[in-house]
Amino acid sequence: MAQSWWRAERRALVAPALLVALAVAQIASWRGFGLSPWKGGGFGMFATNDAGAFRIVRVVEEQSAGDSPVVLPAELDRIRRHARELPREANLRRVADAVRALEPSLGTLRVEVWRTVFDREDLAPHLELVARAEFP
């Protein structure tokens, strides 16, 4: 009798242990890779507006005369969204490579991910850089 109770109690701990492990992994991904709190388990999703509509991916061609923005075509939307939600260097490189595949004549590309942050005093929005990488 006591042995079956012990097994049932241990089984009852499996779900909470998995949720704690998922929360720790999501927090680590947020801190280490800039993962949007709305992805990867989403434990922080209701505490922030740091989601897709409040993040932008910007591609800029660096030129001697000044930077020139590069328009991302709709066919690159999936790659752009992936970089927006998990802006680590490998995903930013995928965006640059995809843009360069469509326009091989482009020079050095800078891929940036920005998020909208609202001021605590007057709620005025401003952009904050999440990630940036340059690809010659």
**Contact indicator for 50, 35 with CB cutoff of 8 Å:** no
- pLDDT tens-digit profile of 65-78? 899 999 999 999 99
**Contact indicator for 58, 111 with CB cutoff of 8 Å:** yes
- pLDDT tens-digit profile of 58-112? 999 999 889 999 999 999 999 999 999 889 999 999 999 999 999 999 999 999 9
Model confidence, pTM: 0.73
Distance CA 107, CA 96 (A): 11
Number of C-beta neighbours around residue 122 at 10 A: 6
Domain boundaries, the chain: 1-136
Distance CA 100, CA 55 (A): 22
- Terminus-to-terminus CA distance in the chain, angstroms? 69
Cα–chain-centroid distance for residue 74? 19
